[in-house]
Amino acid sequence: MGVINYFYNNILLKRLFSSIILIFFALYLNNKGGIFFFIATFFALVVLSIELYKIFDIKIYQPIFFKNILFYATFFILIYLNLYSFFFIAYAFGFIVSFLILKHKYSFILLSYTYILLPLILLLLLSKSDHGKIIIYWMFIVVWTTDISGYFFGKLIGGPKLFPAVSPNKTWSGLIFGVIISGLGSILFSYFLGFGGYINFFIMGSLGAIITTAGDLFESKLKRMNNKKDASNFIPGHGGLLDRLDGFLFAILYFYILSLL
């Protein structure tokens, strides 16, 4: 019982345990792909949407929320069936309807369709090809090394805060080591897959680390603007799913662009 209580009260252990589960789950889903990846991504979308509603103090149990979930399901089905022309029409229609219904909540609607929904749609598009899956693995490496090294070296070295008004725990030392280690991780990724171009991979990985950190800071700013500490308590030791995927949402956009080059 003492060990259980210690684990329950130790934030670091809970973060570590939750992170390990999420990492293995993410790797498995990306490898599996197909309908499993789509279902898991849609579930994440629903949870992220609920958390965004909570951040903005908008009630969930109302028609607009269920309307959005219905639209999101439609978007996912159209993407899964490769009906992209219909997807763009449905996406625009859902966006306009949300603007008309939720008056004076323009920033919230914009965030729900661009900050939350768009990255997950792009993630689905990446998952539909072997090339895209490789890009997703690379993104995992960059985001995870950024988070882990930033947290570890930020605690170990400390020093000046990055943006204390937005995120009081992030330090310049954590960012610098996150950038360097993510670049090195990208070099290893390139080496094991036989891509070459190590300098380019280092630069792209390092830039990915900066963008990931920007995503983290952006979500922290949203919470501070709305006087929220965490998006929810969905993940032990991490807060909400949005608190865990904030860097990913920005990184997905970046790596999707890289996949087009």
How confident is the model at residue 57, as a pLDDT?
85
Query: Can you give the pTM of this predicted structure?
Result: 0.88
Check residue 209 and give its pLDDT: 96
What is the mean pLDDT for each group of 10 consecutive residues in the chain (261 residues)?
Answer: 47 66 87 91 93 87 84 93 91 86 80 93 94 95 91 81 81 91 96 92 96 93 82 64 90 96 84
The contacts of residue 225 (CB under 8 Å, 6+ apart) are none
Residue 142 near residue 208 (C-beta atoms within 8 A) = yes
Structure tokens at 58: 């908008």
3-state helix, strand, coil in the chain (%, to 5): 80, 5, 15
pLDDT at 123: 96
The confidence score (pLDDT) of residue 142 equals: 96
Per-residue model confidence (pLDDT) at position 124 = 95
Q: State the DSSP string of 103-153.
A: TT-HHHHHIIIIIIIHHHHHHHHHHTSHHHHHHHHHHHHHHHHHHHHHHHH
Instruction: Please tell me the distance from the alpha carbon of residue 49 to that of residue 179, in angstroms, as a whole number.
Output: 30
Residue 236 confidence (pLDDT): 58
What are the extents of the domains in the chain? 1-31+130-261, 33-128
